[in-house]
């Protein structure tokens, strides 16, 4: 049985973060982020059973800060 408390290898983490970055960048390319896109992002974040500080940093940097500055808008409709 897999122990979810053991650290994941660095190359695996890097690959996961790169996939997350790619999905976020595609989602925000049009200047808005939809509820469906946010759900897809959350699915990727949780796909390995944990949320890392690096994943949270990516979401903060690429989504939340851009929404706060007006570069990006939430499009929930």
**53: nearest Cα among 4, 25, 1, 13:** 13
Output the CA torsion 7→4→13→45 (10° steps).
-140
Partners of 32 in the β-ladder: 73
What pLDDT digit, counting tens, does each position of 4-51 carry? 444 546 888 899 999 999 999 999 999 999 999 999 999 999 998 999
Per-residue pLDDT, 17: 95
């Amino acid at each position: 049985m897999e122990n979810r408390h053991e650290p994941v290898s660095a190359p695996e983490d890097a690959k996961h973060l790169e996939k997350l970055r790619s999905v976020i960048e595609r989602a925000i390319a049009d200047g808005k982020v939809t509820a469906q896109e946010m759900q897809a992002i959350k699915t990727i974040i949780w796909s390995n059973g944990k949320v890392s500080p690096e994943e949270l940093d990516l979401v903060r940097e690429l989504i939340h800060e851009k929404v706060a500055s007006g570069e990006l808008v939430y499009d929930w409709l």
